[in-house]
Amino acid sequence: MVDNKEHNVRSRILIVATVFFIAGLLVGGVSLALSLNPDENQNQNQTQKNVHININKTINYSETYKELYNQVSDSVVSINIRESGLGSRISGQGSGFIYDSNRHILTNQHVIDGAENVEVVFSNGATQRANIVGSDKYSDIAVLRVDNIPEEENYSPSPLKLGNSSNIESGEFVMAIGNPFGLEGSITHGIVSATGRVLPTEEGFSIPNVIQTDAPLNPGNSGGPLLDLSGQIIGVNRAKSGDNVGFAIPANKARKVADSIIEKGEYEHAWIGISMVPVSYNAANYMDLNDTVSEGVMIVRVIDGGPAEKAGLEPGKQIVVNGEPTWVNGDIILGMDNREIRNSDQLITYLDTKLPGDRIKLKIYRNENIKTVNVTLQDRPDNLLR
């Protein structure tokens, strides 16, 4: 019920706003102007600050989520890892989705890591043994293949479309479908909390451009799709870091890796062959950098036989400065291909756009001089910790 008394206008706005957020319902054509009144002692003619919320589209989110779920849920699968031997009990679980018309299933590498018996369970209950086409531990993407996709009356699953993850923005609504704790076909929802995250992995390398979401992700969700409200996959759910903090591999990366695995059985990552640290306050003082270098990353290790060693890049050494272990005197990377490099995340993200064999130009600081060094990237070796 709407109260029409003038003195209750502010109360009505607060009530409407509360209902808006709780119910997730946008009412079309509404414009809310929240006036921030100046102090009574200030000049009443002072320009007030108005915050306008313009809502141009009517969306019932409950109906939207239900419609999306009905459209895509048949294409989402549960993945069981079974132990070999008598009983073949389930030792691990995850999620996945139909990737293409050639019966490929996309999931996370860590879901099937070390598995011998992989089982795919479709939403109609049909179960099939899956073959592992290939996987990439550095991006945490794996591709499976089944003999056939089951079809029956009112059940005809189709491949899900991977969208352009470069276009997503913080605040967009998203939906995750998966198999948390073995509960098949579970749906959760939330927003894109941030984009462009760099996610460390157990392999010692980081995954760039990761999507952060507050949509609840739990054990078993790994490998399932993160979708926008158009029904396109924007990410492959990977990990939960804490309450309301989950991460997904961006769709653009997942597509590149999956297509390469299907075509060649592997994905090749461009590799420069260094370990690096931020330039610390102690290092800056010790090396007297304050007037010349304020940001960048210092090389602390150069891998034997790697691109950096071949290009003549020099690592630093660790000493004690002001009672603290400190890396000093290594080459400091300031830029890459005319792009400023302020931290390791920027370097990792830019390298991810390159291929083995590409040549990059590094701008480095060494011995009080700025130099340019050309480096030819190589394929990242397997079983390399760093």
**Dihedral sign, CA of 344, 345, 346, 350?**
positive
Helices (H), the chain: 9-23, 61-72, 109-112, 251-264, 281-286, 307-310, 344-351
Pairing of β 332-336 and β 274-278: unpaired
**Dihedral sign, CA of 66, 67, 69, 74?**
positive
Active site residue 140: yes
Cα distances (angstroms) measured from residue 51 to each of 39, 58, 110, 269: 18, 21, 46, 47
Beta bridge partners of 249: 236
Q: What angle do CA 330, 335, 341 make, to 5 degrees?
A: 90
Each residue of 109-133: b (16+ CB within 10 Å) or e? bbbbeebeebbbbbbeebebebebb
Active site residue 337: no
For 227-293, what is the HEC assignment? EECCCCEEEEEEEEEECCEEEEEEHHHHHHHHHHHHHHCCCCCEECCEEEEECCHHHHHHCCCCCCC
List 193, 222, 275, 344, catalytic entry:
222
How remote is the C-alpha of 226 from its chain's centroid? 10
Active site residue 104: no
The pair of three-digit structure tokens given for residue 80, joined into one six-digit string: 């069981």
List 74, 136, 140, 331, catalytic entry:
140
Q: Compute the distance between CA of residue 66 and CA of residue 185 in angstroms, rounded to an integer.
A: 13
The residue written with tokens 């630093």 in the block is 316
List 104, 110, 189, 269, catalytic entry:
110
Do residues 25 and 61 lie in contact, with contact meaning Cβ atoms separated by under 8 Å? Answer: yes
Output the DSSP codes for 68-113. Answer: HHHHHGGGEEEEEEE-SSTT--EEEEEEEEE-STT-EEEE-HHHHT
The pair of three-digit structure tokens given for residue 84, joined into one six-digit string: 């070999």
| Catalytic site positions | 110, 140, 222
